[in-house]
Chains A and B, each alone.
Chain A
Amino acid sequence: MQKILYGIDSSEYRHQADIAAQNLVEKAVPLAKIGEALEEFEHKYQDEIIFRGSHVKLNHHNAPEVMAIWDKAMEIMDTYADVEIFSHRNYSYRMSVGGIKKPFISIPDTIIRNFSETQWLFLFGQMLTMINGRMLKLFAIARNFEKFMSLFPVIGDALKAPLGQWRRKSQLTIDRGGLLCCQDYDCAMRYLTILSGISPSSVSSVDLSARMQQLVDAQSESKETAVAIGHFNQTLFSSRSAWSNERFIELYNWHESGEYAKIIRKHT
């Protein structure tokens, strides 16, 4: 049974690199305003049209179970977010959120069909972290800056690198928010394992310790130079998301460091 985390704020569990980026943007007020404007622009002139046009809006009447879990997630994270929630047909296990004034959450139907309440809480914890952690404007800045920088080869890539780095680290913050909401370490690690490719129906049979050992061995294995360069290049310049395995290790490390337990104790 999850405990309510009274007074918790996302700044307490943000990844270091994420904190630095957030502080930079919030101090540079025009940049923060640009980020908000970009996010609202994309939300209003694209997402809202698509969601209202084709997705199914969920409410307490047609999706009472989903809405009850959302209400529970807000209660656990001691927060409130005025959102609209939509479902759409997609074979993905990732939720998405957009918009600042009135965020929309989009849920693939495959999550509704396959996920347990605890897995839902993990995902909703991620969404609440993005909304209340004021992360969406940073994502908007990063996304649009990357598009702009793509016009300038080489130097554009060099400038995109720190943004890509931040985007990957911000996902680690979001994962921490997910864990704090579901308060089930096993569930969180198994969700990250689903992202690596195994189906929800089979993930319970995965030996997480063996998986962890596999990842540690892979990391410590010496790579051929070409492979190492390729991996570095992919990570820094091409990958917008943290590797699923990287997220698995990072959440493990954060949990093992005692930070997770410390936050739970502090707020309960």
Chain B
Amino acid sequence: MKVISPESYLFPGDEEAMEAINKIPQLSKVLAFISKNSIEKFYSIIFSSSYIKLTSANAPKLYHFYEEAAEAFGLDQLPEIYLRRGYQYKTDVVGIDNPMILINTSVLEDIPEEMLRVFLASDIAGIKAGHNKMNFIRLLCDNFADSLPIPKQVLTVPLLMWSKQKYYSYDRARMMYSHDKDMVLRLIGYGEAPPDIMERVTPDERIQQGMEFLEIDGVQSIAKSILTMSEAKPWNSMRVIEFNNWIESGMYKIGLEERI
């Protein structure tokens, strides 16, 4: 099989943002240079001083999951992987040319193995798609946009919107990797309830809850929009609906056929 191309899983808004960034001449090189000489050095010291570095020797299974995902998505160089104590099921990726992945301990403690390999694959998919550049641009804007002669929101609002859309891309990437719709749906908002309950929540129940969320209308929808704008992550209900719509549209099958 061919590698999974970013075009097959990037959400349209995400893809447009990446194309817009990539069209600016030399921007990628400039960002990589600044990142290499600032946050990558900074976080490298923090991570290596405070967290456990995971390698093929001390975490062979986890390392192998990332190796498998890197092969599937066509990522040549595996990032450095670190482990930190954390309750939320999340990973963070920093750096552009030399990315580093930071995994919360709860991810390894609670997510079953067969789901873990799919969960972690989205980190590799994001790196391959160039999300690190956007994350870095967002970091720069959050910290320095006030000093520009334009309202900060001109930059931060679209970046916040992209920040939500990248999760839709992650869900699609996981589907392209696992071909298991039920598993990808269970991974959305995994941890909001304990595993035994999440196992029993059917896809139809998730979609039903998503529809109830979509059906919030009238004046309440204004409040919904305001709350949505202030969040860096999309609502789980929106992720479920977006993902289901993508499957129903047939785009997943087209992406799969192109890969074969």
Which residues of A approach B to under 8 Å, CB–CB? 44-46, 48-50, 52-59, 61-63, 66, 87-89, 91, 109, 112-113
* Residues in A neighbouring B89, C-beta threshold 8 A: 89
* Residues in A neighbouring B205, C-beta threshold 8 A: 57, 59, 61-62
CB distance from B5 to the nearest CB of A (A): 31
Which residue of A is nearest B211, CB measured? A52
Contact in complex: B220, A109 (CB < 8 Å): no
CB distance from A132 to the nearest CB of B (A): 26
The winner among A49, A53, A66 for most chain B CB atoms within 10 A is A53
* Residues in B neighbouring A56, C-beta threshold 8 A: 189, 192-193, 197-198, 201, 209
Contact in complex: A52, B200 (CB < 8 Å): no
Which residue of B is nearest A66, CB measured? B197
CB distance from A95 to the nearest CB of B (A): 14
- What number of B residues sit within 8 Å (CB to CB) of A? 27
Q: Which of B202, B209, B227, B238 contacts A50 (CB 8 A)?
A: B227
Complex CA distance for A50 and B201, rounded to whole angstroms: 19
The winner among B88, B194, B235 for most chain A CB atoms within 10 A is B194
CB within 8 Å: A-B pair count: 79
Which residue of A is nearest B227, CB measured? A49
The winner among B197, B200, B202 for most chain A CB atoms within 10 A is B197
* Residues in B neighbouring A88, C-beta threshold 8 A: 192-193
- Interface check B92, CB cutoff 8 A: no
Contact in complex: B87, A91 (CB < 8 Å): yes
* Residues in A neighbouring B237, C-beta threshold 8 A: 52-54
CB distance from A22 to the nearest CB of B (A): 30
- Interface check B224, CB cutoff 8 A: yes
CB distance from A134 to the nearest CB of B (A): 24
Contact in complex: A63, B193 (CB < 8 Å): yes
Contact in complex: B192, A58 (CB < 8 Å): no
Contact in complex: B194, A55 (CB < 8 Å): no
Complex CA distance for A50 and B236, rounded to whole angstroms: 10
Q: Which of B197, B198, B200, B224 contacts A49 (CB 8 A)?
A: B224
Known: A52-B209, A56-B192, A63-B193. A45 touches B220 (CB 8 A): yes
Contact with A along B80-117 (1 / 0, CB 8 A): 00000001110000000000000000000000000000
